Amino acid sequence: MPIQAHAPIPKFFYGTAWKEDRTAALTERALQAGFRALDTANQRRHYFEEGVGLGLAAAYRAGLVTRDDLFLQTKFTYLRGQDHRLPYDPAASLGEQVAQSLASSLAHLGTDHLDSYLLHGPSSNYDWTDDDAEVWEAMRKEREAGRAHRLGVSNVSLRHLERLSETRSELPTFVQNRCYARLGWDRDIREFCHEHKILYQGFSLLTANQDVLYHPLIRNLISSGPVINRTGKTSNVTPAQIIFAFARAIEILPLTGTSNADHMQQDLASHDLTLSLDAVRAIESIAG
């Protein structure tokens, strides 16, 4: 098969979880706002991956984007994370389940390849197991066949990553975790990622950190001109924009799942913000 060019790493993902019958319309809205990277999963309990594909198809028909403009990321989810609407045969081997789930995802999304394919959480909350090793190898085979260009893992602990590293297997391109300020913005995982040249994707940056979002320090940063460099068209800086600018400053590739068109535009405009080193340190210190 011809070698496919890999899409560049995006700067912002639009997350499609928890949107149900609004998924198609919100996917199209996010593309209209300017998002070019989409995150989903072939797990009907929390995602409607087929709805993402419907939104993509509408955007293609409208001439809004082409497939080559986009970075599409989805996930393989173990049986324990699914409901009854399974994307694979539960009696099949794990390797076959990966192949079946990926084939289903490609059909849902109307594409012949994914830009990124994640393991949607290890099989154990504590360890990297033989099941995980089998799934990881199956995902690598899909990558080698050209159906997935990059691989990653989500919802992982430092132990998971250390144990994976100890197996001397290939490390992921991406780690995606829910990012809590109270845990130092996942500092231990981020440090591991930095050391091993893994890109860290952070989700729930706003919803998991409401106390930070409305902290007096954030309000002070918004009102203090010297701390924030406003460039381009950015004005009337929001707390969410501060958090996203902070995330990038500490090497977090952010996800947002807002359904509000104005917030989509504001979130993307956070690219135009640069926080001073003092501001970054101050926000990190909020978590203690």
Q: Which domains does the chain have, with CATH numbers?
A: 13-172 (3.20.20.100)
What are the two backbone dihedrals, phi and then psi, of residue 234, each rounded to the nearest 5 degrees? -70, 135
CA–CA separation, 230 and 241 (whole Å): 12
Which band of pLDDT confidence, cut at 50, 70 and 90, is reported for residue 2?
very low
The average confidence (pLDDT) of the chain is 94
Which residues 6+ apart lie within 8 Å of 180 measured at CB? 186, 204, 208, 209, 287
- Ranked by mean pLDDT, which of 35-39, 124-128, 168-172 comes out on top? 35-39
Q: Report, as an integer, the average pLDDT of 139-143.
A: 98
Instruction: Give me the helices (H) in 39-129, please.
Output: 49-61, 94-109
Kindly report, residue by residue over 191-231, the tens digit of the pLDDT. Answer: 999 999 999 999 999 999 999 999 999 998 888 754 566 55
Predicted pLDDT of residue 267: 97
Kindly report, residue by residue over 252-261, the tens digit of the pLDDT. Answer: 999 999 999 9
- The yes-or-no verdict on residue 5 having pLDDT over 90 is no
Q: Report, as an integer, the average pLDDT of 97-117.
A: 98
Q: Report, as an integer, the average pLDDT of 228-243.
A: 73
- The yes-or-no verdict on residue 106 having pLDDT over 80 is yes
Q: What is the pTM (predicted TM-score) of this model?
A: 0.95
Predicted pLDDT of residue 138: 98
Kindly report, residue by residue over 174-192, the tens digit of the pLDDT. Answer: 999 999 999 999 999 999 9
Beta strands in the chain (DSSP E): 13-15, 37-39, 71-76, 116-119, 151-154, 174-178, 199-203, 228-230, 252-256, 273-275
% of the chain with per-residue pLDDT over 90: 90
Bridge partners, 148 (sequence order) = 114
- The yes-or-no verdict on residue 277 having pLDDT over 60 is yes
